[in-house]
Structure 1
Amino acid sequence: MGKNIILNSTEIKHITKRIAYQIYETFVDEKVIVIAGISKNGYEFAKKIAEEMENISSLQLVLCEVIIQKDNVFAPIQTSLQPTDYQNKGVILVDDVLNSGATLIYGVKHFLNVPLKKFKTVVLVDRNHKKYPVKVDFKGISLSTSLQEHVEVIFEKENDVAFLTN
């Protein structure tokens, strides 16, 4: 089983900064935006994006953790915020890897139950194997892989890395 590095720490930092600028340009007219990260790695990536955005904008950023049971996407989705906390605000839903699109589309569906001003999606790696018609607004890289390959992202302080394993 081989592990190939597809993104090193420097590349992930660069991508995070680029995505932060793209989000800022899209939400520049807002006062408050909610950055909702899908637990675990999506939330870690959301925190990194929020850190970068704090350096470049005066927007008030609210972090939200979105808990989706990936083995049972029909289970109720939980968030660290109440729906009234993100109602009529701009929301960005963040995940680390887009595989089939199931997790992201169920996350999107959850947020559609509340009126929002604007809604966008972010992933670090888009694998191009979507089972669902979900589009990502901001992505780090697109990667054409075989179905047998797996993308793994590890967020560790200053040693973030994304691997492709087969």
Structure 2
Amino acid sequence: MSDKSLILTHEQIIQKTRRIAFEIYEHNFLEKEVILVGIHDEGYNFAEMLKTELKNIAPFETKLVGLKLDKAAPTQSEISLECSDAELKNKTIILIDDVSNTGKTMAYSLKPFLKIKVKKIETAVLVNRSHTQFPIAVKYSGFELATTIKDHVTAQLNSESKAVYLI
């Protein structure tokens, strides 16, 4: 593995997560329930962090749902939600991942929602690299990072010492 550069420290990740939670609350303060859909693995970990922050500030209920897909081969893998379609009907959905590179993962992650009548879908990421190749706009972003497409950004959010690295 090549050298890695620290982009976000544990404290910065907590701060950015809290800010995104306030933004989600500001844009959805009239809702009774918001569904946080975290893309496994690190996107789900980030969604858990957002759920904790929202619980502290927002009066609405938050439900955490996992979404599984093979990020390397999304067209060939099953994309599954860890809840029933009925639980999402007429709800506000926040689709969450750790890093947005090209928008590909989020674009394919929308597939299960195409057969459900939801109220609205918004997107949130910890790091947005803005190399958009798919028509996905990130609504809530913790950190905008200008990199080359060859660079790799990795988030470690499931440990006590959370960090984001550029490799």
Contact 2:80 2:112 in 1 (8 A): no
For residues 159 and 60 of structure 2, the distance between their equivalents in structure 1, rounded to whole angstroms, comes to 24
Q: How many residues align?
A: 165
The question of 1:3 aligning with 2:31 is answered no
Q: Distance in 1 between matches of 2:71 and 2:45?
A: 17
Structure 2 counterpart of 1:40: 41
Unaligned 5+ segments in structure 1 are none
Q: 2:91 aligns with which of 53, 65, 89?
A: 89
Query: Following the alignment from structure 1 to structure 2, what is the Cα–Cα distance between the partners of residues 37 and 28?
Result: 21
Is 1:159 aligned to residue 161 of structure 2? Answer: yes
Distance 2:121 2:29 in 1: 14
**CA distance in 2: counterparts of 1:40 and 1:19, whole angstroms:** 19
> Where in structure 2 are the equivalents of 1:100-139 lying within 5 Å?
100-139=102-141
* Cα distance in structure 2, aligned partners of 1:80 and 1:138: 23
151-160 or 49-58: bigger deviation = 151-160
Partners of 1:21 and 1:112 lie apart in 2 by 28
Q: TM-score, normalised by structure 1?
A: 0.95
1:53-92 pair list within 5 angstroms: 53-74=54-75, 75-92=77-94
Deviation at 1:110, TM superposition (A): 2.5
1:13 corresponds to which letter in structure 2? Answer: I
Per-residue CA deviations over 1:5-36 (Å, capped at 9, x if unaligned) read 11000000000000001111111111111000
Distance 1:48 1:38 in 2: 13
Shift of 1:157: 4.0
Give, as a single letter, the amino acid of the residue that structure 1 aligns with 2:83: L
Shift of 1:119: 1.2
Counterpart of 1:31 in structure 2 is 32
Q: Is there any run of 5+ residues in structure 2 with no aligned partner, and where? A: none
Letter in 2 for 1:6: I
Contact 2:97 2:124 in 1 (8 A): yes
TM-score (structure 2 length as normaliser): 0.95
What is the identity percentage for the equivalent residue pairs of Structure 1 and Structure 2? 34
**In structure 2, what is the Cα distance between the partners aligned to 1:136 and 1:68?**
19
